Homo-oligomer: A and B are copies of this chain.
């Protein structure tokens, strides 16, 4: 029994929606984090709630990347695939690295399941898996055996099989089983019988690895080194919820959150609904328009008003967002993007709502737009969105996506005491109050809330006089107000810090990205820079206004690539703003970039070549 040291491992658990793969993956991720690895996870589940057992479309997967050095992505391709049934094998095998390790639950490879998965012959027998390290284990049987004599129903016994797989990989990677056993017991305090059973099966899996001589090696991935501090594992939607709670606190105000359920935004509402004792008021509205409306009403009343949705719901909010822009009320709008258009790919990730965020309203209706780059970053973006909305009296759009919303990473906990406050002050002084009189620096109007004696006034969606706020159809006033609303957004640039640039301020290739692609882009840049390539990566947090730092450097590179999970929406803005012949690296597959894809695209630009003609509407540079 020898031990092999590895720098990093990518493992994917795949099975039926009912097989509990998400739980298995999450638990194994905890163990890796506990062991001090850096980790990144990527849950990938079907749109169906619980598709019929054994069906191809019902396969649910969870990929975990754990490493002894810093990582930013869940990994391009799994080194290890745990396949709980034929459908899981069929849909995931193509991603496994050649010579990768396969752990297969042979118990599920029965005629019926093979047929459902569209296998003519049993892949375990037809040699089609020869190039992989295959471990065929009858997990079904071994699970039953482990629970022999338990008073649980056979159905319930079968349910425990994912813990066998979990135990097995615990052993393979030399994880400490004790704390996992503790966690299982805790999770099932309400149903101790199940807890017992799961622990039994978990141990059985662990010992199977130990005893069955098929597993000759234990792999060890040493701990990574981190910034000293306190850490927790967090998903994007958990972090964004925390950010809103803290943001409201830093503003010294109460949080009001209204939403209408939609994948992948719903879980934010679910988290906040649990934070009632923090004074957060959540409201499940009848639709997205009502959710936006309620947020506007709450903002008018002086709350930190937030609403969230995904693409289709944001489309519905457009008209009401325009009202918030016209009446200059602070509302934070979260768009947890998913694949579009229309209903599109509800459970897949994409960055195709940027244009909608920038332009998806009638009239000249500019609004600030920022995007989060990672699960943990959503926390800070949420706080920043609250700050800008209240300071500039404007609705703010914060973009996240399904990938960072559901993905998790170890997150260094901030010291709350050190976060700068931005307490809101509501004007109460009636002496020469004008509804649309503006602050010199921010151009914001005063946030006067109902209940303030002597400041009674009326606002609305019709154009208003630049000073009094009364209805005005005057031509010059409209031009003035339109320009002020635009200028106000530009002024936000004064709040934006340094551009996040990796690599030199000049060079051969500049890769520009935004949002959830950060990890893959940054890792690709690091790889190429390590090879001495003149490659830089600028990652934008603010798209409206555009990060001021970009103007200083963008002309210093031979080539500019705008990399996004859409057809070139940021690229359009970059080209129009800087007249730079930026090419696009675009992927529209409902999946994040792989580091390899980015590296190849950059290398293509490094070899001198005619850049694509730009005389036609931007055509993106497709990737293999």
Contacts and interface: CB of A to CB of B under 8 A. Distances in A.
Interface of A: 46-47, 57, 310-312, 314-316, 318-319, 322-323, 325-327, 339-348, 350, 352-353, 355-356, 358-365, 460-463, 473, 475-476, 478-479, 482-483, 485-486, 490, 545-546, 551, 566-567, 572-573, 575-581, 587-591, 614-618, 622
A340 B486 CA distance: 13
A577 B473 contact: no
A597 to B, nearest CB: 12
B315 A342 contact: no
Contacts of A323: 342-343
A577 B614 contact: yes
16 contacts: A46-B473, A310-B362, A315-B360, A318-B318, A326-B342, A339-B463, A345-B462, A348-B478, A350-B363, A352-B362, A356-B359, A356-B361, A551-B616, A575-B575, A575-B577, A577-B617
A131 to B, nearest CB: 23
A22 to B, nearest CB: 17
A173 B124 CA distance: 98
A577 B362 contact: no
Contacts of A580: 579
Nearest to A555: B615
A473 B60 CA distance: 13
Contact of A341 (B57, B314, B340, B361): B361
Contacts of A572: 572, 576
Contacts of A566: 364
A463 B57 CA distance: 14
B356 A360 contact: yes
Contacts of A57: 473
A340 B345 CA distance: 33
A319 to B, nearest CB: 4
B314 A316 contact: no
Given A546-B617, A577-B616, A590-B473, A365 B341 contact: yes
Contacts of A339: 363, 463, 478
Contacts of A616: 490, 551, 577
B318 A360 contact: yes
Contacts of A576: 572-573, 575-576, 618
B614 A364 contact: no
Contact of A340 (B343, B364, B575, B614): B364
Nearest to A356: B362
A617 B490 contact: yes
Report which residue of A339, A579, A617 has the largest number of chain B beta carbons within 10 angstroms of its beta carbon: A617
A614 to B, nearest CB: 6
A575 B579 contact: yes
Given A352-B364, A355-B359, A577-B618, 6 more contacts: A310-B362, A342-B461, A473-B590, A490-B617, A575-B575, A578-B614
A616 B344 CA distance: 34
A348 B618 CA distance: 34
Nearest to A475: B589
Contacts of A473: 46-47, 57, 345, 347-348, 590
A341 B362 contact: yes
A222 to B, nearest CB: 34
A475 B322 contact: no
A292 to B, nearest CB: 12
A551 B615 contact: yes
Contacts of A344: 326, 362-363, 461-463
Contacts of A546: 617
Contacts of A364: 340-341, 352, 566-567, 588
